[in-house]
Amino acid sequence: MYRYIRNILLWVVVILPILGVAQTTVTANRVVIKDSLALDGKWIKRINNDSTLRTAGEQSVSTDGALKKYIDKVASGGGMSHEELIEAHLNPSCLEVTFEYGYKAIVDSSNKITLNIESSDGVKTIYDVSNDFPLAILYAYGKPPFSLHTEIRNNTLDSMIGLHVDARNKMQRYYIYDSNSMPGDTMRLNLSDLRGTVNISVNAFLPLSNQNFFAARAIIKNLSKDHVIDLNVGSSVGRYVYPGKVDNELHYLQDPNDFTIRCSAVRTAKYGDCYLSGLIYSDVRLKVYKNGALVWNGILSAFSNDYASVSIDASWKEYEIILEDA
């Protein structure tokens, strides 16, 4: 009997809409929607029960209970509490993303890029950006922190494409990412723990005749508990790698070149913003491998200006950087 009823519901809910039957009415005791619901062409992805309405967005519906509490509080002159005002200011329920094409004439205008953004409470926002509008300011709503994923393919015939990302919160710039690609390559950007503002820029350029680039696989492992790796390779690559994170990707570097590796203790504020102190708070060990062979192994001492500096050239097919607590 249960299977018979289930098959009828499946026919009504799934098969009839496919066949084009309009205005179908479904009567059921319960309906479970795992992702989203479309009403008159508008997608609803979340039911909001937050009486402060800080997490309200264009793809959410607030319950009448949440609205009543909010209206009652405002009508009584209560408004938001001091603590709620501070949290809303320091930990806003949105992520601002600025996307810029630096050189419109060189980047292929048909190269559309899709930004996939998701909040920690599951609100998904998707934006398609193209060179038709070289500057875009976008907003994703939901509970921070956010994640952002995208792919950028180099569709040019003769240009390198450089990608720069930096993220800022109320306190400081807390994230840097630089990469580049050759024609036909695809750069994949996977970011997490985002708050505040993220700036993304894509630039195309023609390498000069005296610039020799070589490819090297970079593996960066941060095994420390509370220190961030700050890597700089000339003007080609720069990035922060946070504790517990691993980067593994192909870098195009100028030959010859030097890279410097510093580290900084990271602290987290009350409302989630992270802060880079600029200091080493406890001894950490840094190792650098060239093509699998150890070439640098040392201690970066607490409260010092210690860092590693290594010269590289086209003989480096792979470099691995490991940071761990001493």
pTM equals: 0.72
What are the structure tokens assigned to 148, written together?
Answer: 């952002």
Where is average pLDDT lowest: 93-97, 102-106, 237-241, 272-276? 102-106
| pLDDT range class, residue 45, cuts 50, 70, 90 | confident
| pLDDT range class, residue 97, cuts 50, 70, 90 | very high
The answer to whether the CB of 79 falls within 8 A of the CB of 73 is yes
Average pLDDT over residues 20-27: 59
The residue whose two tokens read 């005749």 is 209
User: How many Å is the Cα radius of gyration of the chain?
Assistant: 25
What are the structure tokens assigned to 28, written together?
Answer: 């059921």
The answer to whether the CB of 49 falls within 8 A of the CB of 65 is yes
pLDDT for residue 187 is more than 80: yes
C-alpha to C-alpha distance for 227 and 242, rounded to whole angstroms: 7
Where is average pLDDT lowest: 64-78, 155-169, 217-231, 269-283? 64-78
DSSP track, 221-261? EE--SSEEEEEEETTTEEEEE-TT-EEEEEEEEESSEEEEE
Of 61, 60, 229, 200, residue with least CA distance to 142? 60
pLDDT for residue 236 is more than 70: no
Tens digits of per-residue pLDDT, 195-216?
A: 999 999 988 888 877 688 899 9
Most confident by average pLDDT, 1-5, 35-39, 113-117, 180-184: 113-117
| pLDDT range class, residue 264, cuts 50, 70, 90 | very high
Average pLDDT over the chain reads 83
Average pLDDT over residues 308-317: 95
The answer to whether the CB of 51 falls within 8 A of the CB of 69 is yes
262: Cβ–Cβ under 8 A, 6 or more apart, which residues?
A: 230, 307
